[in-house]
């Protein structure tokens, strides 16, 4: 009985001691000192970008606090619940080592009056501010190597899409950019090729610009069309239309230029003949020495590399003569009724032009009965009387390779028979 009472007394004493300890801890000595470290320092810069400014450096990223508060509050205070900010909103110009006060904000669950900040590891953070630059750069192609023999890389027809890149960042970084380029090795290209290439930014020395995380650009690569055309040499010539006593054997032609280089898509150029007719020459109508020119007309999709738009030509005829002969053989066709009308020629001889090989012309001139005569058709004159100038047709039966003038004027007199004529 006595032992049980003693145990109970001891239990009551222990409980009292615990309650006394709790009283001392929470009431008699309620405060405790502790440290919160690695609290991130945030920079408030709401209007910097509007002013064309950007923060490029910060002296410290975090700080630590020595705090005093109740043990109940201690569990609520840590690096995630405590906020430290530095306000840069009032900065209006670029600068280095600009000091900003670090302002501590406690969580809403803890009253500020219940916490003492004994010490901050730093009171201010220093920042560097630069001007914010936004610049657009045209994208250029830098190529290396060379296309295959017989092909042409058309540098002036390169297509870059998009053709410019916009870079935004600190002036000290963006301002060092001189050019934006894409690079490609065109070696052995045989046709137009489209590639996607990364964009590189170069400074004035041709060195690549290295950016910090503060600089950004709206695209990192672009599409590039690399036009490659086939080249071919084509000889030029004229086509002869034989006639007028002249054959192609008697003609020679000197062309300037006598050939051109053309370019285009491989399938178009390879389909072209090796020789191109630039025009036709009627040998019946030209003199022995005939300078002229021809306009170059190329098929669609074919470009003249040489550049000439016209070809100068000199055509010479050898062994060809032009002369005149007298023809007295004039024949009347379909004259009026001879019983009632008398038809007389008032033209006895006409001169006609002959053209052909020199030896043929000489034969005609030597042959008085050369087989060349004039026909005069009177079938439309009916019973008309008077003197008329009638178109005659020159006929050449003996020298088919010789050209003669096509028509001449012949004088004809038509009169009625009279009694005196009959006597």
Look at residue 309 and tell me if it is in a domain: yes
Give the range of the structural domain holding residue 25, as residue numbers without chain letter: 2-122
pLDDT for position 180: 97
- Across residues 272-281, what is the average pLDDT? 93
pLDDT for position 282: 93
Burial class (CB in 10 A: 0-12, 13-18, 19+), 356: buried
Tokens, residue 243: 């006639």
- Across residues 327-343, what is the average pLDDT? 89
Domain end, chosen from 318, 345, 375, is at: 318
- Across residues 132-142, what is the average pLDDT? 96
Percent above pLDDT 70 for the chain: 92
Give yes or no: residues 143 and 189 share one domain.
Answer: yes
3-state SS string for the chain: CHHHHHHHHHHHHHHHHHHHHHHHHHHHCCEEEEEEEEEEEEEECCCCCCCCEEEEEECCCEEEEEEEEEHHHHCCCCCCCCEEEEECCCCCCCEEEEEEECEEECCCCCCHHHCEEEEECCCEEEEEEEEEEEEEEEEEEEEECCCCCCEEECHHHCEEECCEEEEEEEHHHHCCCCEEEEEEECCCCCCCEEEEEECEEECCCCCECCCCCCCEECCCEEEEEECEEEEEEEEEEEEEECECCECHHHEEEEEECCEEEEEECHHHHHCCCCEEEEEEEECCCCCCEEEEEEECCCCCCCEECCCCCEEEEEEEECCEEEEEEEECCEEEECCCCCCCEEEEECCCCEEEEEEEEHHHHHHHHHCCCCCEEEEEECCCCCCCCEEEEEEEEEEECCCCCCEECCEEEEEEEEEECCHHHHC
Look at residue 127 and tell me if it is in a domain: no
What gap in Å lies between CA 167 and CA 137, rounded to an integer?
A: 8
Give yes or no: residues 328 and 313 share one domain.
Answer: no
pLDDT for position 4: 58
Give yes or no: residues 71 and 95 share one domain.
Answer: yes
Give yes or no: residues 288 and 333 share one domain.
Answer: no
- Across residues 396-410, what is the average pLDDT? 85
Give yes or no: residues 24 and 58 share one domain.
Answer: yes
pLDDT of 141 strictly over 90 = yes
Q: Mention every residue, 6+ apart, whose C-beta is less than 8 A from residue 132.
A: 48, 49, 52, 53, 54, 168, 169, 170, 171
What gap in Å lies between CA 71 and CA 21, rounded to an integer?
A: 14
List pLDDT tens digits, range 353-393.
888 888 888 888 888 778 899 999 999 888 889 999 999 99
Provide the CATH number for the domain around residue 157.
Answer: 2.170.120.40
Torsion sign across C-alpha atoms 212, 213, 218, 219: positive
Q: Is the peptide bond before 329 cis (omega within 30 degrees of 0)?
A: no
How sure is the predictor about 194, in pLDDT bands with cuts at 50, 70 and 90? very high
pLDDT of 120 strictly over 50 = yes
Give yes or no: residues 216 and 238 share one domain.
Answer: no
pLDDT for position 400: 85
Q: What is the count of structural domains for the chain?
A: 4
Tokens, residue 369: 């009965």
pLDDT for position 28: 45
pLDDT for position 382: 81
Domain end, chosen from 72, 87, 122, is at: 122
How sure is the predictor about 420, in pLDDT bands with cuts at 50, 70 and 90? low
How sure is the predictor about 16, in pLDDT bands with cuts at 50, 70 and 90? low
Give yes or no: residues 299 and 328 share one domain.
Answer: no
What gap in Å lies between CA 372 and CA 404, rounded to an integer?
A: 9
Look at residue 274 and tell me if it is in a domain: yes
Look at residue 101 and tell me if it is in a domain: yes
Domain end, chosen from 274, 291, 318, is at: 318
Look at residue 28 and tell me if it is in a domain: yes
pLDDT for position 154: 93
Range of weakest confidence among 48-52, 63-67, 181-185, 291-295: 48-52
Provide the CATH number for the domain around residue 332.
Answer: 2.170.120.30
Give yes or no: residues 335 and 283 share one domain.
Answer: no
- Across residues 20-41, what is the average pLDDT? 75
Give yes or no: residues 36 and 70 share one domain.
Answer: yes
pLDDT for position 7: 63
On average, the pLDDT of the chain sits at: 90
pLDDT for position 399: 86
How sure is the predictor about 24, in pLDDT bands with cuts at 50, 70 and 90? low
pLDDT of 1 strictly over 50 = no
Note whether 334 and 379 are within 8 A (CB): yes
pLDDT for position 5: 61
pLDDT of 25 strictly over 80 = no
Give yes or no: residues 326 and 360 share one domain.
Answer: yes
Note whether 222 and 196 are within 8 A (CB): yes
On the CB side of 122, how many CA atoms lie within 13 Å of its CA?
A: 20
User: What torsion do the CA atoms of 177, 179, 180, 183 make, to the nearest 10 degrees?
Assistant: -130
Look at residue 402 and tell me if it is in a domain: yes
Tokens, residue 270: 């390879």
What gap in Å lies between CA 351 and CA 404, rounded to an integer?
A: 11
pLDDT of 143 strictly over 80 = yes
pLDDT for position 74: 94
Look at residue 213 and tell me if it is in a domain: yes
Computed on alpha carbons and rounded to an integer, the radius of gyration of the chain in Å comes to: 55
Look at residue 272 and tell me if it is in a domain: yes
Sheet containing strand 403-404, strands side by side? 320-327, 350-357, 403-404
pLDDT of 423 strictly over 60 = no
Give yes or no: residues 78 and 38 share one domain.
Answer: yes
Give yes or no: residues 299 and 362 share one domain.
Answer: no
Percent above pLDDT 90 for the chain: 66
More confident residue, 188 or 82: 82
């Amino acid at each position: 009985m006595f032992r049980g009472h003693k145990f109970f007394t001891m239990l009551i004493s222990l409980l009292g001691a615990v309650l006394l300890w709790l009283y001392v801890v929470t009431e008699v000595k309620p405060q405790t000192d502790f440290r919160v470290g690695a609290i991130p320092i945030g920079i408030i810069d709401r209007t910097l970008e509007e002013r064309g400014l950007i923060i490029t450096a910060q002296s410290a990223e975090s700080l630590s606090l020595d705090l005093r508060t109740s043990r109940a509050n201690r569990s609520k205070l840590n690096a995630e619940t405590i906020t430290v900010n530095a306000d840069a909103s009032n900065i209006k110009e670029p600068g280095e080592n600009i000091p900003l006060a670090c302002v501590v904000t406690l969580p809403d669950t803890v009253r500020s009056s219940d916490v003492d900040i004994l010490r901050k590891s730093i009171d201010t953070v220093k920042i560097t501010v630069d001007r914010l630059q936004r610049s657009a750069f045209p994208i250029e192609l830098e190529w290396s190597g060379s296309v295959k023999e017989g092909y042409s890389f058309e540098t002036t027809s390169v297509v870059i899409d998009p053709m410019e890149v916009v870079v935004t960042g600190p002036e000290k970084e963006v301002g060092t950019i001189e050019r934006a380029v894409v690079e490609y090795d065109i070696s052995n290209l045989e046709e137009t090729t489209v590639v996607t290439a990364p964009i590189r930014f170069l400074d004035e020395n041709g060195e690549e610009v290295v950016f910090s995380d503060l600089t950004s650009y709206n695209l990192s690569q672009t599409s590039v069309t690399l036009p490659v055309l086939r080249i071919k040499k084509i000889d030029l010539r004229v086509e002869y239309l034989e006639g007028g006593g002249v054959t192609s054997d008697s003609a020679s032609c000197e062309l300037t230029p006598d050939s051109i280089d053309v370019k285009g898509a491989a399938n178009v150029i390879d389909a072209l003949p090796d020789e191109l007719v630039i025009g036709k020459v009627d040998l019946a109508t030209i003199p022995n020495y005939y300078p002229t020119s021809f306009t170059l007309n190329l098929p669609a999709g074919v470009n003249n590399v040489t550049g000439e738009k016209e070809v100068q030509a000199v055509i010479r005829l050898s062994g060809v003569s032009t002369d005149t002969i007298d023809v007295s053989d004039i024949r009347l066709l379909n004259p009026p009724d001879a019983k009632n009308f008398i038809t007389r020629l008032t033209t006895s001889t006409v001169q006609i032009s002959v053209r052909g090989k020199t030896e043929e012309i000489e034969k005609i001139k030597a042959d008085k009965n050369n087989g060349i005569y004039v026909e005069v058709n009177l079938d439309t004159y009916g019973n008309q009387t008077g003197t008329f100038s009638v178109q005659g047709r020159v006929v050449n039966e003996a020298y088919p390779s010789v050209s003669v003038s096509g028509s001449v004027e012949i004088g004809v007199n038509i009169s009625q028979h009279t009694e005196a004529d009959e006597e």
